[in-house]
Amino acid sequence: MPVRHTCDTRRCDNRPVLTLSGATAIVVDDASTRTGDLHLGPDGVSGPPLAGDVLDVSGCVVTPGLVNAHHHLLQSAFRTLPGTRGVPMAAWLQRMSEAYTAEGVDPALVRAAARVGVAESLLDGVTTVADHHLTWPSGADTVAMARATADAARSLGIRLAFVRGAARDDPEEAASSAAAIIEALVPHGGVTADGMLQVAVGPAGVHSDTEATFRLMGEVASRYGVRRRTQANEQVDVDIAAERYGRRPLDLLDEWGWLAPDVTLAHLCGVTEAETARLAASGITATHAPGCDLPMGWGVAPVGRLLDAGVAVGLGTSGGGSNDAGHLLADARLAMQVSPLAGRGLAAAEALTMATSGSARGLGRPELGHLRPGAAADACVWDVSGVHDAGVADPVAGLLWANPGRRPRHVIVAGRLVVRDYALVDADERDVVAELASRLDG
């Protein structure tokens, strides 16, 4: 798939518009699919340029870049640990904590793990990833740790939403750290001018954090105008809320001011019909993480019911400590497969929307997750010309149902190729792997 170069004196700079030409289908958004050309520039999806580069994408489907609404990038260094599979969530949390303590979480490890998680994400078609970072050793330079993740993302070309989380942290220290991180990374409005870095705040959940933490983190969010994110209704969340408070997790979140339109709740396993209505009325957004919750036996969110109630639902992989992979399209397929176990089945178009604009809504980013004019120029090019897609009647549905584990041929972020012909553009994959191996072996 060669790139043709053209140049016109009216527009010829270091960031020409990239035209994707000859696609089998272009998924513009959840309501529109077309053929023709797609023009992606540094200022977003645009009309035909006077000059630029042309990439032949015949035999391919073009989609918006995927948005992973819930990841824990640090866990990319802690996959398939003994004692972390098929165990109660409380046991899993203890085993992961032991692993973090034994390794020593510092900026070097955070950067190396994040580079692995980001590289994997890009190679699997994710152009924006939300990293809910929950591990902050006592006395750590939390700003340096946050910078390490941001630098890792920038070095490979992905958009990052960094969430200063908390998990049994001192409430005052967590809030002070969150404010310092926001001041250091994105002091105004929560998103950088180029849209490449976003910050948010969010405790791990009512199972680990007290009302004081939720309230203080909420005050930080209000002060700086950033979004809030937390986790709710996983196995341990429900158990501890009942044991400690005699309540359901959503009761507590509502009482503590965390059922609101600026809040995204991840997981939401086993919510009742009454709770679904409550969530819809509150204006929250949700994130489904079946690749974590299902294999661990922690529950399945009733996604169809949430969508039917009007809740915007995104998709996340969660972290490598429970999922072991950051392949969002594979998890979209899994979401379709397991949806009948918790209500109505999901269509492929719904699952793809969750992985794109649904996740973007939870980040408060209307420019992401679609390819309408003016959208951020983030796109994936998926080759559907091979044997795995032979006989597929609907090539867009086939993206999810056929060829499990497929990877995009090309990935574009902000109009720039960051994956080309299945390889990273800004780094050698082997070097990314070696950096983490060296830190773990050291």
Contact, 206 vs 232, CB < 8 A?
Answer: yes
335/413 same-domain check: no
Average pLDDT along the chain: 94
Q: Could you give the angle at which helices 142-156 and 107-123 cross, rounded to 10 degrees?
A: 30
Is residue 439 assigned to a domain? no
pLDDT tens figures, 275-284: 999 999 999 9
Contact, 313 vs 287, CB < 8 A?
Answer: yes
Tokens 């020593």 locate to 104
147/120 same-domain check: yes
Across-strand partners of 193? Answer: none
pLDDT tens figures, 58-77: 999 999 999 999 999 999 99
Contact, 260 vs 229, CB < 8 A?
Answer: no
Contact, 340 vs 388, CB < 8 A?
Answer: no
386/339 same-domain check: no
* Dist CA 295 CA 281 (whole Å): 31
Is residue 131 assigned to a domain? yes
Is residue 102 assigned to a domain? yes
The residues, ordered by sequence, that sit 6+ positions from 113 with a Cβ below 8 Å of its Cβ are 73, 74, 75, 76, 77, 436
344/375 same-domain check: no
pLDDT tens figures, 327-374: 999 999 999 999 999 999 999 999 999 999 999 999 999 999 999 999
- As for how many domains the chain has, the answer is 2
Is residue 407 assigned to a domain? yes
Is residue 278 assigned to a domain? yes
Structure confidence at residue 47 as a pLDDT band (50, 70, 90): confident
Assign 40 to helix, strand or coil: strand
Mean pLDDT of 212-230: 98
Can you give the CATH number for the domain in which 152 is found?
3.20.20.140
Q: Domain boundary residue among 310, 330, 362?
A: 362
Across-strand partners of 203? Answer: 166
62 phi, psi to nearest 5 deg: -105, 130
Indicate the residue type of 378. Answer: D
Alpha helices in 283-327, H assignment, sequence order: 290-296, 303-308
Domain holding 189, by residue range, is: 66-362
109/194 same-domain check: yes
pLDDT tens figures, 409-430: 999 999 999 999 999 999 999 9
* Dist CA 124 CA 65 (whole Å): 10
Beta strands in 126-222 (DSSP E): 126-133, 159-166, 197-203
198/314 same-domain check: yes
pLDDT above 50 for 7: no
Residue 14, pLDDT score: 58
Across-strand partners of 40? Answer: 18, 45
382/293 same-domain check: no
Can you give the CATH number for the domain in which 388 is found?
2.30.40.10
Tokens 């053929």 locate to 35
58/71 same-domain check: no
